[in-house]
Structure 1
Amino acid sequence: MTIERQGRPDAVIFDMDGTLFETDKLLIPVHERVFRTLREEGLYVEEAPPAERLLSCLGMLLDDIWREIMPGSSEAARRRADELLLQYELEGLLAGEGALYPYVEETLQQLKEDGVKLFVASNGLEGYVKGVAEQKGIASLFDGVYSAGEYNTASKVDLVARLLQDHHLDFPASIWMVGDRSSDVEAGRGNGLKTIGCAYARYGRASELEDADVQINDFRELLELRL
């Protein structure tokens, strides 16, 4: 294991939505299609929740999201919503919809050139998380892309623990967890990592990042941090 390099990390684990990927540019039109199809299929006939409500739930496990925004929905409706969400998100990505936050690609490139191992840990579906990385041209920069959908983990704390174990990342390595929601901060702190809150994201409450070791307002700040 490499020795900590004066505050620079040996590895950085990133959330996807609201951290690397500006999700609303893809998810708002997808949201409309999902609920239109559910209504057409008779699986959820209540009024569709506002897209902003779905965006505010990003970072949660999908089943918890559907229970939150589709109260009283059946398991069949939630499973179908999973299928439709993935289908429409992938179609949107293939069509070029959605965008990385400013300076994400070049900052990841620089970290990679500096010898930092890069990972993704997301509570999203496997096909979506890997699809964003592939379609936006950053998949090759990561040493691993982990999702709750692939590993069926109960929390992001568990998902990050699995990642750390698989890649033999432990003390004395310096490892950072970077994300925009309280679940990211909890995942980092729960695994003994330094936590960085992305205050530029708009999907959660500012208070969710209060326990992060540091907050950033521009992705490029990662290159200057010493923790």
Structure 2
Amino acid sequence: MKAAMIFDMDGTLFQTISILEASLHDTFQRLRDEGMWRGDTPLEIYREIMGVPLSVVWKTLLPRHPLHIHGKVNDIFHEKLIDNIQKGNGALYPHTEEILAYLSGRGFPIFVASNGYPHYLKAIIESFHLDQWILDCYSIQEIHSDDKGELIRKIKEDHNLTHGVVIGDRLSDFKGAEANHFLSIGCAFDFSQEKELSEADIVIGDLLEVKEYLEVMK
């Protein structure tokens, strides 16, 4: 069996930045309207932590708000994200469809392991018809942990995988690959950080480089 290709979604396949600003602004405008926030939308702070579990996001952006408010804000944020995706405002990274078609056509099983919520991931997959290549999409919400390595392990066990490659943009992806004895490929895209990318086995600047790497390894 060929190596499983396990992709992160945000910042790897999907250009979250294309809908992030509008969705975050809309969310914090709702908070301002309801008297729960003053000042600008903390977009820069969110960019710095992009890719961490959403529970961490709201603890970071709203440290003085109680947990039940975090839950409400999370629901609003996802509502805005999905609305933007369904309106066609989002975008995939260049060559996403090409690399997925290439991998699928050559028998590499493709999965997604994401910190995103299931209904959000479903909106992306349906809007861009990614299910023609992706066998299964896993959300961190499916396990009782915020550890990406545990999510990758679930994919590994569910599909009896013996070897694989994890393609992502953040440290959690690379550490998750290492914990499961998989190769890691770091994507130097919008939300990646140089220090974190140094933990990846391979670093790429374009998804087509995955194809080039695999061809060299034949």
Query: In which range does the TM-score fall when normalised by the shorter chain?
Result: over 0.9
2:5 matched residue in structure 1: 12
Alignment partners' CA distance in 2, 1:47 and 1:75? 21
- Assess if the C-alpha contact under 8 Å between 1:49 and 1:69 holds in 2: no
- Assess if the C-alpha contact under 8 Å between 1:125 and 1:150 holds in 2: no
1:41 matched residue in structure 2: 34
Deviation track 1:6-33 (CA, whole Å, cap 9, x = no partner) reads xxx5210000011001111111100001
Q: How does 1:175-190 map to 2 (within 5 A)?
A: 175-190=164-179
Aligned pairs, number? 215
Alignment partners' CA distance in 1, 2:99 and 2:192? 23
Residue 193 of structure 1 aligns with an amino acid whose one-letter code is F
Q: How does 1:201-216 map to 2 (within 5 A)?
A: 201-216=189-204
Alignment partners' CA distance in 1, 2:6 and 2:29? 35
Residue 27 of structure 1 aligns with an amino acid whose one-letter code is L
Q: Any stretches of 5+ residues in structure 2 without a counterpart?
A: none
Q: Does 1:137 align with 2:129?
A: yes
2:112 to 120, 141, 144: 120
Residue identity over aligned pairs, in percent, reads 32
Q: Does 1:221 align with 2:209?
A: yes
Q: CA RMSD in A?
A: 1.4
Q: 1:154 to 1:50 in 2, by over 3 A?
A: closer
TM-score of the two chains, using structure 2 as the length reference: 0.93
1:6 matched residue in structure 2: none
Residue 20 of structure 1 aligns with an amino acid whose one-letter code is L
Q: Does 1:29 align with 2:18?
A: no
Q: Does 1:71 align with 2:63?
A: yes
- Assess if the C-alpha contact under 8 Å between 2:166 and 2:185 holds in 1: yes
- Assess if the C-alpha contact under 8 Å between 1:38 and 1:77 holds in 2: no
